[in-house]
Amino acid sequence: MKKIFTLIAVAAMALSASAQEITFTEGDVVAAASSAPLNNKTFSNGNFSIVITDLEGKFAIDGSNAFFGTAESYKLYSYRLKTGATSKPAGDAKARYITIKAPSAGTVKICARSGSSSADRNIEINGTKKLLDDDAAAKVDMPDKASETNPTGTTSVYQIHEFAVNAGDNTLTFPDGSVNFYSFEFVAGEGGGGTEPTPVTPTDPSAAKVWDFTNMSADALAALAANSNWAADIQGTGEEAYTRYTYKTDIAKDTYVDLASIGFADGAGIEVGRSGGKLAGYAQKSDGSWSGGIRVDANKRIQLNTSNGVIKIKNLKAGDKVTINYQSGSDEARSFTVTNASPATLSAPKNSEEGSNKTETLTVSADGDVTLQQTKAINIFKIAVNSEITAIASVEAAATIAAPTVKKYVENGKVVIVKDGKKFNIAGAQLK
């Protein structure tokens, strides 16, 4: 049955307040390999998680678009977890299955499709099987997908399958062959057995917002220079020299302040602090050098120069997309732990590695704030809400590519790299 595309469908499938959803992103993409790259890998949203067992290295994550839900209410997913083969039980030399760790008894809703275009397949949890049947998909007319061969933009919307789960570990198997998983959603206290998504009241997304710390406003920098609560030091030499502003006052343990409230206007809407200890102000260390916890490197980045530093992005809505362009603050691998958004972890490889300048997108789980707690200092170049960030993975590598693909020059005292007709700064963030 065909349905006309409506605004209801656009906003549909937002998570209910009690739901926790695990999805996959570009940052999760990994190819299958004999070294079993996803074995023991955990994906989490709050206290709900899935753990992969894959001794043979068949699992992979890649990009693939699919709609799930009903003809009236559906959602697009763009990345999938591919099992690559039939499940095998624990104890088998090729053990291959997924453990769903539920925080309480409830329902897990799974968006999945058969890994074969010619064969339907089952998935099973706690003795209950559900058939992944492409022929049961709803057909929805989506005008934005219209083409010469499909003038109405008719698109398949696949079923969501629900399973009752117990608190703790629940084993998910795929006994008939490979399966592609797009989403796992946990809802506490509901029975399983249906295939309909949870009815919710759609909410409008937050307004688009970008914090570009590689291109700070002149007014914000002038205010920092004139503010006695900030220390100014020159870092680097020659063309690479820049001013570092460091906040002088300690921020108490587990206390968070808006960057604008302490004098950095370009940081309005972002709070910073430290979990489990104070965020130290600018002070002289035992070796004679000076340092502090909150750094603003003019037209380059911001950084919390501490372990367990927390960046909090305020007043977001379920389903919002938060994109962050970042890099480890040293030649040491680091990471963020994320709350109220998925994925639950963002890795930051050594800054000497190719591709260490990363751009990742988070999906907000529920209305409220998203926090990113770092292991140690991580450079933040740009943050965006419901807006795109484009970055070059390695500026140095890009600069070596033969013209006209890439060229490099200085504009207004700053290095500019041009690649494929787009401009990037030395940090790899795209310029307007």
Residue in 275, 281, 231 with CA at minimum distance from that of residue 256: 275
Mean of the per-residue pLDDT values of the chain: 83
pLDDT tens sequence across 130-170: 999 988 899 998 887 888 888 888 999 999 999 999 989 99
Coil, helix or strand at residue 325? strand
More confident residue, 274 or 144: 274
pTM of the model: 0.49
* pLDDT over 70 at 400, yes or no: no
pLDDT tens sequence across 281-306: 998 877 777 889 999 999 999 999 99
Whole-number Å distance between alpha carbons of 124 and 83:
14
78-92, 189-203, 237-251, 401-415: the lowest-pLDDT one: 189-203
The pLDDT of residue 143 is 83
More confident residue, 401 or 81: 81
More confident residue, 426 or 229: 229
pLDDT tens sequence across 303-317: 999 999 999 999 999
DSSP state of 30: B
The pLDDT of residue 273 is 94
Whole-number Å distance between alpha carbons of 182 and 28:
12
Other Cβ atoms within 10 Å of 361 Cβ, number: 17
Q: Which domains does the chain have, with CATH numbers?
A: 2-188 (2.60.120), 209-389 (2.60.120)
* pLDDT over 80 at 193, yes or no: no
Separation of first and last alpha carbons in the chain: 45
The pLDDT of residue 285 is 76
Residue in 322, 325, 337 with CA at minimum distance from that of residue 425: 325
pLDDT tens sequence across 6-37: 333 433 444 444 578 999 987 788 776 666 78
As a whole number, mean pLDDT of residues 421-425 equals: 68
The gap from C-alpha 21 to its chain's centroid, in whole angstroms, comes to 13
